[in-house]
Amino acid sequence: MILAVIGPTGVGKTKLSILLAKKYNAIIINADAMQVYKGMNIGTAKIKENEKEGIPHYLFDIKDVRDNYTVYNYQLDARKIINKFPDKNIIFVGGTGLYLKAALYSYEFSFEEKTTNNYEELTNEELYTIALKKDPHMNIHKNNRQRLVRFLNKESLDVPVSTPLYNAIYIGLTCERSILYERINNRVDEMFNEGLISEVKSFYDQKINSKALSTAIGYKELYKYFDGEITLDEAKDLIKKNSRHYAKRQYTWFNNQMDISWFNVNFNNFKETVLEVEKYIDNKNKIK
C-alpha cells in the first residue's frame, strides 16, 4: 500500500504520517523539495530525530545545499525505494506536488527537464523579476507562471501527459483558511525562536548562493536582510506572506492535478482526525 499525506505547512502532515506509519508498519519517504537538503532544518519544518519514533525515513538530508537536485532526480530516487520495498507499506509526506506526481505517475521528462528547476516556491512576481533580469525584452505576462518557468529553464513547450503508475491513496489535510494562515504565521514565529536566523546565517557566511537557498521560503528573505535590502521585521513579514501564498498555490495545484480526499483537521482533538483518515484508508483497501 502506498499513501501520500499532503498539505501546507503547519497543518499536521508530519504528525499524521508518524501515526499512520505506526499503525500500518510503514516506511516514510519525504516529498518536500527543500527537505532533501542537509542543514535546511528549521526553515523547512523538517522532522526532528526524536520525532521519528524509530520509523525509517528516506530522502531527507541526502544532498548538500550547493547541489542542484531536480524533479527528475527525485523521481529516480523515490522509485528506487519503492522497488526496494515491494512488500512494504510506504507513506509519502510533503507538499511538493510535482515530486509526488513524478514519483507516482508515468511522468516523462525531456532531456532539458532532467536538469531544470520548477521554481515552485517562488511567487509570480519573483519569477517575473528574474525573467526580466535574464532578458529585459521578454514579453511574458507576470501571471503566466507556466511560460515564465519554461522561459527560465528553456524547456520544451509541451507539458508531459501522465497517468497513475501506482494505486496510491492521497490524503490531504486542510482547515479553514483563516485558521491555516494564523497557524502559518505562528509557525514562522516559532522558527525564529528556534534559531532560524542562525541557521540561514551559517549558509550566508559561507557565501553559498545556491538554487535551494535562493528559492526556499525563509532563506531567500533572510538573505535579503543580511544584504541590507530589508529590515528583520520586513523579512519576517515577507516569510509569512510568501508562506501563505505558497499554501494557496499548493491547494490549487493538488486540486487540479490529483484525486485527493481532503480532511478537515481537528486541532483540538487530532486523534479524531486520525481515526477518520484510518477509516477512509481501511475502506479503500477493502474495495481493492
Give the pLDDT score at 73: 93
The whole-number pLDDT of residue 188 equals 97
Cα 91 from chain centroid (whole Å)? 15
Report the distance separating Cα 178 and Cα 173, nearest Å: 15
Q: How far apart are CA 76 and CA 82, in angstroms?
A: 10
CA-closest candidate to residue 59, choices 25, 42, 84? 84
**For residue 30, what is its C-alpha cell?**
519525504
Length of the chain: 288
Q: What is the pLDDT of residue 65?
A: 97
* pTM, 2 dp: 0.83
Residue 251, phi then psi, degrees to nearest 5: -60, -45
Please spell the DSSP secondary structure of 218-240, one letter per residue.
TTHHHHHHHTTSS-HHHHHHHHH
Query: What is the spatial order of strands in the sheet that 57-58 belongs to?
Result: 57-58, 26-30, 89-93, 2-6, 169-174, 261-264
CA-based Rg of the chain, rounded to a whole angstrom?
19
pLDDT of residue 238: 98
Query: Minimal CA–CA distance to 221: which of 97, 133, 123?
Result: 123
Mean pLDDT split into 10-residue runs, the chain, 288 residues: 93 96 97 97 96 96 95 94 95 94 84 60 79 72 82 52 85 95 96 98 97 95 98 98 94 89 96 96 81
Would you state the pLDDT for residue 138?
74
Longest dimension (CA), the chain: 58
pLDDT score, position 116: 58
What is the predicted pLDDT for the residue at 154?
A: 60
